[in-house]
Amino acid sequence: MKEKNFYVGFYNEIVKAKIEKFVSQNHLKQAFDEVTDELKRNPTNGQQVPKNKGKKFYKKFGIDNLWRIDVIRSHPGFRLWYTIVTKENTIEIRIMSVLLSMESHKEYERSLKNK
């Protein structure tokens, strides 16, 4: 069976510039490329974020689904946030943010509830 690839892009040009700068400054190019390649093969490899936990992203970007995936699996903390969009028989993954979170899991969960 042939592997299906999906298009991975950025939410908009401003987001793209910010993410590229962040990735470059933190020497994450290889890890970022690996995780986006993974998403091209399977967009649902990340964890879906419920609306009540990702209010900030749902409101800011006007999206109806939100996903997150660790950029570096062996060192969680750098997370890529994205949405999956279906348009005219194509599926696009739109990256919205790459964040560094140094919070404990409990603090991280609490902060999502407040956003």
| In a domain? residue 71 | yes
pLDDT at 36: 87
| In a domain? residue 54 | yes
| In a domain? residue 60 | yes
pLDDT at 78: 78
pLDDT at 85: 87
* Higher pLDDT among residues 81 and 87, named by residue: 81
User: Domain span at residue 70?
Assistant: 7-113
Number of domains in the chain: 1
Write out pLDDT tens, residues 82-112. Answer: 889 887 767 778 877 666 443 445 555 665 5
Q: Which residues contact 83 (CB under 8 A, 6 or more apart)?
A: 11, 61, 63, 64, 65, 66, 67, 93, 94, 96
| In a domain? residue 82 | yes
| In a domain? residue 2 | no
Check pLDDT > 90 for residue 23.
no
Check pLDDT > 70 for residue 49.
yes
For residue 106, how many other CB atoms are within 10 A of its CB? 8
pLDDT at 3: 54
**pTM, entire model:** 0.75
| In a domain? residue 77 | yes
| In a domain? residue 1 | no
Q: Are 78 and 70 in contact (CB under 8 A)?
A: yes
